[in-house]
């Protein structure tokens, strides 16, 4: 699954650590999701969407 | 779910030390330079290296990130279990050497090192339950499966070599260290892969 996490994070000038802190996860998690190594669970995807004020489908895209 | 941190460390150092010590002990045992009991004791002592190894692997995530509070609890539990294991093993071997054991007493002293190993397995299970960070939990589960794969492969391979008289008999307690080595190597590889991904 592709995602726009890196772009959205850059728009807010957040580091991976900044985003990880907002999501209450490790920076490894943010890095793994951004690079497509790990697809988040639905609850975490909702938290990510809430942090950016977007819908899940505006962040995560079908392959 | 706050990410408490512990200092970064060098997992490779502990992995190298443990593998080197296990290799030296195995070589000494196979060349009959040391007897099986001595090899057993030395290997038990070398298992202590698994504690800082696992701790360092959990601590050495991408820059600025340390272990979760669940990982710290896990490390403490594994440390206590490992210490009890070495203590129990030492007591069991000492009693076995000095006394003629009945079956019931032999069973009782065999439990001295076994119960702490059950504690280690319980600690690993609790970590998977308590870890709130789903990606770290996923990594731990994958590492456990990698350890299981190594154990199944090694046991099957060795078992058939033993069946056809190529290698000597291996004690069943090797299962735990082989599994732990596989898990540690997998954690190390995943940590390296995550670091290689880096922040951009």
Q: What is the pLDDT of residues A52-62, one digit of tens each?
A: 999 999 999 98
Domain covering A2-61, topology: 434 Repressor (Amino-terminal Domain) (1.10.260)
> Is A46 an 8 Å CB contact of chain B?
no
Under an 8 A CB cutoff, do B62 and A28 touch? yes
Is the per-residue pLDDT at B64 higher than 60? no
Predicted TM-score (pTM) of this structure? 0.73
Q: Where are the alpha helices (DSSP H) in chain B?
A: 11-30, 36-46, 50-59, 69-98, 103-130, 134-163, 175-197
Q: How confident is the model at residue B101 (pLDDT cuts 50, 70, 90)?
A: confident
Q: What is the pLDDT of residue A63?
A: 74
Residues of A whose CB is below 8 A from B194: 28, 31-32
- Interface with B, mutate which of A28, A38, A42, A44 (most B CBs under 10 A): A28
A31 shares contact with chain B (CB less than 8 Å): yes
CA angle centred on A34, ends A43 and B61, rounded to 5°:
95
Residues of A in contact with B135 (CB under 8 A): 25-26, 28-29, 32-33, 38, 40
ipTM of the complex: 0.92
- Whether the per-residue pLDDT at A10 is higher than 90: the answer is yes
Query: What pLDDT is recorded for position B160?
Result: 97
Please work out, in degrees rounded to the nearest 5, the angle formed at the alpha carbon of residue A57 by the alpha carbons of A54 and A63: 140
- Residues B28-61: pLDDT tens digits? 988 989 887 787 778 778 877 777 766 676 565 4
Which DSSP symbol is given to B33? S
Q: Scanning the structure block, which residue is given the tokens 């033993």?
A: B162
Residue for token pair 């995530």 = B61
pLDDT of residue B1 exceeding 50, the answer is no
Q: Where are the domains of chain A?
A: 2-61
CA B131 to each of CA A41, B26, B184: distance values in angstroms, whole numbers, following the listed order: 15, 35, 18
User: What does the buried/exposed string (b/e) look like for B26-35 if buried means 16 or more CB atoms within 10 Å of the residue's CB?
Assistant: eeebeeeebe
Best of A21, A31, A37, A48 to substitute, by most chain B Cβ atoms within 10 angstroms, is A31
């Amino acid at each position: 699954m592709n995602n726009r996490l890196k772009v959205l994070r850059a728009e807010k000038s957040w580091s991976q650590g900044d985003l990880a802190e907002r999501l209450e996860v490790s920076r490894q998690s943010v890095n793994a999701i951004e690079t497509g190594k790990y697809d988040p669970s639905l609850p975490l995807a909702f938290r990510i969407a809430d942090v950016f004020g977007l819908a899940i489908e505006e962040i995560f895209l079908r392959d | 779910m706050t990410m408490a941190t512990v200092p970064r460390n060098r997992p490779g150092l502990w992995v190298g030390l443990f593998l080197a010590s296990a290799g030296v002990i195995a070589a000494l045992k196979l060349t009959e330079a040391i007897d099986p009991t001595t090899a057993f004791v030395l290997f038990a002592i070398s298992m202590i290296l698994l504690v800082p190894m696992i701790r360092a692997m959990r601590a050495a995530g991408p820059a600025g990130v340390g272990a979760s509070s669940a990982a710290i609890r896990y490390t403490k539990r594994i440390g206590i279990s490992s210490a009890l294991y070495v203590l129990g093993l030492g007591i069991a071997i000492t009693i076995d050497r000095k006394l003629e054991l009945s079956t019931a007493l032999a069973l009782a002293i065999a439990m001295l090192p076994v119960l702490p190993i059950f504690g280690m397995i319980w600690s690993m299970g609790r970590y998977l339950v308590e870890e709130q960070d789903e990606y770290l939990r996923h990594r731990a589960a994958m590492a456990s499966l990698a350890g299981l794969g190594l154990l199944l492969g090694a046991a099957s391979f060795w078992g058939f070599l033993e069946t056809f008289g190529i290698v000597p008999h291996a004690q069943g307690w090797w299962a735990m260290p082989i599994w732990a080595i596989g898990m540690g190597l997998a954690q190390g590889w995943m940590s390296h892969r995550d670091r290689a991904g880096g922040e951009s």
